[in-house]
A and B are shown apart, each in its own frame.
Chain A
Amino acid sequence: MNVVDGVKAAALLFLAAIMQVSIFAQVHILGGVPDVLLVMLVAVALLRGAIVGAAGGFFAGLLVDTASLGRLGLTSLVLTIAGYWIGRYGETTGRDRAHAPFLSVAVVTILYSFGLLLVHFVLGDRAPAGAMLRGLLPAIALNLILTAPVYALVRRLLRPFDRSDLSTEVQLLG
């Protein structure tokens, strides 16, 4: 990944974090809240791998926690792991698969929600599992709607690597 790509990815995540905190957090549809930052992170991680995914998740989470004067590190922790995991999926089994962004967004939305629930629970904060579960399906649907345009935008700005550049550490046979 070159510097220009890094700047582009950082700008995209910055924009998504600001939009999430200022606009999307207020959009409640059937109890679900769309998460444009999560979708953007998934797109960046799928196209640029685990290290960029983890670093992007860390700094995007830091931005969210700073902008909302929330507990620093909380969102970073969950997004770092989410970015890394999706990055690995993109580097290995998810490469060149059209359904990869949609599958990743759906799975990560679930894991991210449970991750946040777990961290809040461990910290002794309010952890309303019922409210989270009620809003989960609408949130997945809303995130899936966002996936196509966001992934198309990110793919346009961050061109996918050639196959030869990608990691081949894990490759399924058959």
Chain B
Amino acid sequence: MAPPNRTARVAVLGSSVQRSRSSKHAAGRARSAVVRRLVLALLVLGALALLTISFRSPTSGALHNVQGTGASILRPFQVAAERVARPFRDAYGYVAGLADAKSENAKLKREVRELRAQSTQNLAAANLAASLQKLMNYETGPTYPKDYRAVNTSVISFPSGPFAQQIAIAAGSDSGIGINTPVVSADGLVGRVTNVSHTTAVVTLITDPDSAVAAQDLTTGVSGLIAHGPGSTLILDQVSKEKLVQKGDVIVTKGTRDRRYPDLYPYGIPIGRVLSAGPSDIASFLTVQVAPYASLDSLDSVAALVATKRASKLP
């Protein structure tokens, strides 16, 4: 039990250690505590103010311009760090790749044989389609990849954890990139630009929950919406149960033009391959799981597709 003339506060905080010191020292300590709390309050207020401004105008305004300039200044450091890390990453990739190199080699050889046969058929069909389009004076919007200029650029920052499905690229409006510019890798669709400064841009990946891409099954012609799926996969949503989608089918962008939902991507960009497809008792649509072609968690460089042909406007 504490004696009546002592408080619990005194017993816990141990101010008795300081009793012998001068009151001047105690006043100094109190002042430093006030300064410390004041600094914290100012910094938290500053962070909240920045957060509020950037939340209200994420892609424009003075703060956005300052951020863009800051990003341009930081870019050389990021590129340097990325270059320093690249040999280590490549070495890791090489060692990791060796583990399943043999089985992957056999699988790839089989795929090459199939694709070679498919390619010959596609070439003939493409030539026929081109000549028919010419005969019919068939008008189209910008077609991929003919009417797009690829701005090849490196990736300078990566999604940090589960919160952001975005990457930053080392090219911006100075290279012709704008909001909603489609971005692809050598393997397939990556996403679209959602924030841009002069020399950098932010790309929101197709695995972001807010992303929706009108897509088509190349084999069966079935259309749907590509959206975020479980893990690192995608789902082809809004496909009626009577439609046919099979495992292994290739999914590409649909490139439709709709007044209410204009498609941001041109037709024919490969998105991924169907992993599984089947009806579910509780869902009103088919459950179609798609594995993206692009390795979205290890992108080194990408290409932003800047249209060279103006898209026709809908009435």
A73 CA to B162 CA, complexed, in Å: 18
A84 touching B40 by the CB < 8 A rule? yes
Task: State the majority secondary structure of interface residues on B.
Answer: helix
Q: Are A25 and B47 in contact (CB under 8 A)?
A: no
CA distance A81 to B37 in the complex (A): 11
Our pick among B70, B89, B161, B197 for the contact of A132 (Cβ within 8 Å) is B161
Scan residues 1-58 of chain A and give those whose CB is less than 8 A from a CB of chain B. 18-23, 25-26, 28, 33, 50-51, 54-55, 57-58
User: Which B27-48 residues have C-beta < 8 A from chain A?
Assistant: 29, 32-33, 35-36, 39-40, 43-44, 46-48
Instruction: Report yes or no: B58 in contact with A71, Cβ–Cβ below 8 A.
Output: yes
B200 pairs with A70, CB closer than 8 A: no
Contact assessment for A77 and B47 in the assembled complex, using a CB-CB cutoff below 8 Å: yes
Q: Interface SS of chain A: helix, strand, loop or mixed?
A: helix
> Are the CB atoms of A55 and B43 closer together than 8 Å?
yes
Is A158 interfacial (CB 8 A cutoff)? no
Interface window among A98-106, A145-153, A165-173: A165-173
Q: Are A68 and B160 in contact (CB under 8 A)?
A: yes
Kindly state the separation between the CA atoms of A173 and B36 in the bound complex, as whole angstroms: 24
For B35, what are the chain A residues with a Cβ–Cβ distance below 8 Å?
51
| Known contacts A33-B161, A72-B51, A168-B17; A67/B168 CB under 8 A | yes
A18 touches B53 (CB 8 A): no
Q: Which of B70-93 contact A (CB under 8 A)?
A: 70-71, 74, 77-79, 81-82, 85, 89
Task: Give the bracket for the number of chain A residues in contact with chain B.
Answer: 35 or more
Q: Is A169 within 8 A of B200, CB to CB?
A: no
> For the complex, is B268 an interface residue (Cβ under 8 Å from A)?
no
Given contacts A28-B297, A61-B47, contact A70 B40 (CB under 8 A): no
- List, in ascending order, chain B residues with CB within 8 A of A26's CB: 89, 158, 297-298
Query: Given known contacts A22-B85, A171-B13, is B158 in contact with A66 (CB within 8 Å)?
Result: no
A69–B13 touching, CB < 8 Å: no
Contact, CB under 8 Å: A69 / B67: yes
How many chain B residues touch the partner (CB < 8 A)?
61
B54–chain A nearest beta-carbon distance, Å: 4
**Contact B82–A127 (Cβ < 8 Å):** no
Instruction: Give A171 to B164 CA distance when docked, in angstroms.
Output: 41
B59 to chain A, nearest CB (A): 10
In the complex, which residue of chain B has the Cβ closest to the Cβ of A59?
B43
Q: Is A74 in the interface zone, CB < 8 Å from B?
A: yes
Query: CB-CB < 8 A to B89: which residues of A?
Result: 26
B85 touches A77 (CB 8 A): no
B208 adjacent to chain A (CB < 8 Å): yes
Given contacts A71-B55, A84-B40, A132-B161, contact A23 B195 (CB under 8 A): no
CA distance A51 to B34 in the complex (A): 11
B163 within 8 A of A: yes
Q: Which residues of B contact A25 (CB under 8 A)?
A: 157-161
State whether A116 and B297 are in contact (beta carbons under 8 Å apart), knowing that A18-B78, A69-B71, A167-B29 are contacts in the complex. Answer: no
**B33 and A169 contacting across the interface, CB-CB below 8 Å:** yes
A–B Cβ pairs within 8 angstroms, 25 of them: A21-B158, A22-B77, A22-B156, A23-B85, A25-B159, A25-B161, A33-B160, A57-B43, A58-B46, A63-B74, A66-B70, A69-B168, A69-B200, A70-B202, A71-B55, A72-B53, A73-B48, A73-B49, A73-B53, A77-B44, A77-B48, A81-B44, A131-B162, A135-B161, A169-B29
B interface vs A, CB < 8 Å?
A: 11-14, 17-18, 29, 32-33, 35-36, 39-40, 43-44, 46-55, 58, 63, 67-68, 70-71, 74, 77-79, 81-82, 85, 89, 156-166, 168, 195, 197, 200-202, 208-210, 297-298
Residues on A lying within 8 angstroms of B by beta carbon are 18-23, 25-26, 28, 33, 50-51, 54-55, 57-58, 61-74, 76-77, 80-81, 84, 113, 116-117, 119-120, 123, 125-128, 131-132, 135, 167-173
